[in-house]
Structure 1
Amino acid sequence: MEPSNRNIEMGSRHLGRLFMQFKQLERHPRVFGEAGPLTPSEIHTIDAISCESGILMSELAARLSVTKGAVSQIVKKLESKQLVQRTPHPEDSRAVMISLTEKGIIAFQAHRELHQNFYKELSDQLNQDEIQIFEKCIQKLTELLKKE
């Protein structure tokens, strides 16, 4: 069944409101445990590093879909907040590994907990069919946004 013009218009409005809320969230730092206030860019960089033993700058840039220069700037900020550390690569003297400090791990865990609590709260309001539809919609929306 083809969606009506009215459905398309309403859906477009809802998406616009959702995007505006995401944009507002991007402007406001949030406190993540002992790590203190972090911007969404900072906490998502921490999340991309995660609790692995370390990641190369180039891998981090690819994971975040940003330039190495942009990653370098945010890593510098996170380093000054004692959330990440740089160490020489064990096999390549030209490469630098980025890893989380203890304080960074606390922020990472607090961020994960925030997402899990949000998803649990959302899923408590939906039945299993609605959860599957929601997850499919998120997947499709993500695919569409990658095309832009």
Structure 2
Amino acid sequence: MVPTLTGRIQTRIALLATVGALVTALLTPFLPGGGPLQPRYGTTYLLLAAVTVLGVGWEFVYHALMQFRWEKDWPTLFGLLTFAPEGALVWFLAQRGSVPGLHAPSFAAFSIHFLVVWLCVWLIANGPMRVPFPRWRFHGGRLL
């Protein structure tokens, strides 16, 4: 059985709330841009929240697209490459001021943060997560 829409949403939220939050905490002091850490942490965590909220919306789009595939699932590489449209949308909204309370970061800081978090979450989802949740895939991707 392939992951269900609900399971993919649960997995996305859980991984961004754990792995994404940890990577953001470790990475933020090293991002380009300088300045005091408190506003930088505010910016990176607001970006993480925006990725999480918009990602739930993306799951509906991906679910609709998967209905055209015979096995109703993405190849693993497609899951990795979805960083491009998701990152572009978050960057666009951040630059337009559409994320409440967020002042737009530099492109370098955004790119490094987004790509490192994305890669870490993708690697955990496709590797070590299967150790504590061996039946995850067989329960439609549901964590609960």
Query: In which range does the TM-score fall when normalised by the shorter chain?
Result: 0.3 to 0.5
Which entry has the higher C-alpha Rg, 1 or 2? 1
Higher relative contact order (CA 8 A, sep 6+): 2
Question: Whose strand fraction is larger, Structure 1's or Structure 2's?
Answer: 1
* TM-score normalized by the length of structure 2: 0.38
* TM-score normalized by the length of structure 1: 0.37
